[in-house]
Every structure is written in C-alpha cells, then in structure tokens.
C-alpha cells in the first residue's frame, strides 16, 4: 500500500467485509433468540426437497443451476460489446461532427473561469480597444 488509492481500496474492502459479517451475525443472533431457532429455514428446505421429488424435474433444475454462471458470463461479455455498438451507431448517425464530439474534441476543457464573459472580459477588451484608439 503505497498510494492513497491502494489504502482507500483496502479500507473499503475491510469495511464491506465487516458490514456483511455484521448482517450475517445479526440474522444468526435473531434466529437464536426465537423459541425454535432455524425451524422455519429447516421446514422451507424440506418443502423445497419434497417439491423437487414430486415434480421429477430434478435434472432440469440441476441444468439451470449449472448454466447460471455461464449465462452471467455471457451478459458480462455482451454488455460492453453492446455499449460500443450503440456508441458507433450514434457516431454514424451524427456524422463527422458526432465522431469528433465522441472522441472528446468538443468536450475538452476550453472554458476558463477567469476568461468567462460574466467576469467582464468583453467589457475589458472594449475598454482596452477604446484606450488604444484614444492614444
């Protein structure tokens, strides 16, 4: 940890771990305070297993659970590609000016507060021009 970014990332990571562990500890503590701890969790699990046995579609559910990470990976891969397709289609729709805008030519920091019109730059230029004409 040599930079502020490294330090902040480390601190935030520990903060999130402590938050998740605190929530989990609270849930466990709340269940322990009940007259029959975890009874509802056990009964719900039993009902789910009974439903799987009755439906006979256990293989289907196992396939869906096995496919879930791959579907998530497909979304992760497809979303950036879709983003670039949308940006390029907008660039084509806007033409050459749109491409320069998207590339950042028009988004650069050209505005400077000291030279803003509301500070009187135009008036100062006019006054300077009238002073030059008087000489």
Q: What is the DSSP secondary-structure string of the chain?
A: --SHHHHHHHHHHHHHHHHHHHHHHHHHHHHHTSSSTTHHHHHHHHHHHHHHHHH--HHHHHHHHHHHHHHHHHHHHHHHHHHHHHHHHHHHHH-HHHHHHHHTTTTS----GGG-GGGTHHHHHHHHHHHHHH-
Q: Hey, where are the domains in the chain?
A: 1-56, 68-135
Reading the chain (135 residues) residue by residue, the pLDDT tens digits are: 688 888 888 999 999 999 999 999 999 999 999 999 989 989 999 998 888 888 877 788 888 889 999 999 999 999 999 998 888 877 777 765 655 565 655 544 555 555 555 555 556 666 666 655 555
116 burial level (CB within 10 Å; 0-12, 13-18, 19+): exposed
């Amino acid at each position: 940890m040599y930079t502020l970014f490294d330090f902040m990332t480390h601190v935030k990571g520990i903060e999130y771990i402590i938050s998740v562990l605190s929530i989990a500890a609270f849930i466990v503590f709340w269940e322990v305070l009940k007259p029959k701890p975890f009874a509802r969790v056990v009964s719900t699990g039993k009902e789910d297993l009974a439903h799987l046995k009755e439906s006979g579609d256990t293989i289907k559910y196992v396939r869906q659970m096995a496919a879930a990470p791959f579907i998530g990976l497909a979304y992760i891969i497809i979303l950036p590609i879709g983003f670039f397709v949308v940006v390029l289609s907008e660039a084509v729709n806007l033409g050459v000016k749109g491409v320069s805008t998207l590339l950042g030519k028009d988004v650069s920091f050209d505005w400077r507060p000291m030279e803003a019109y509301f500070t009187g730059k135009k008036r100062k230029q006019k006054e300077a021009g009238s002073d030059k004409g008087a000489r």
